[in-house]
Amino acid sequence: SSGINAEWPLRPGDKGGINNLQTLADKKAQLLIVTSLMKHSPKATIIGEEDDIDYDTEEARSLITMDTCSEVMEHSCPDKLAGINEEDLVIWVDPLDGTKEYVEGRKQDVTVLIGIAAHGEAVAGVIYQPWYEVEGKETGRTLWGVVGLGAFGFKRVPVPEGRKIITTTRSHMQKSVQVTTSLPVIVILLSVKRSLTLR
Active-site position among 23, 35, 99, 142: 99
Say how far apart CA 42 and CA 23 lie, in whole Å: 27
Helix (H, G, I), strand (E, B) or coil at 43: coil
Q: How far is it, in rounded angstroms, from Cα 198 to Cα 8?
A: 31
DSSP assignment string, 64-89: ------HHHHTSPPPHHHHT--GGGE
Tell the burial category of 171 from Cβ atoms under 10 Å away from its Cβ (0-12, 13-18, 19+). middle
Nearest to 95 by CA among 3, 198, 183, 173: 3
Q: d(Cα 21, Cα 98) in Å, to the nearest integer?
A: 9
How far, in Å, CA of 95 to CA of 93, rounded? Answer: 6
Helix (H, G, I), strand (E, B) or coil at 121: strand
Strand, helix or coil at 123?
A: strand
99 is catalytic: yes
Candidate list 23, 26, 94, 97, residue with the active-site label: 26
Which positions are catalytic? 26, 99
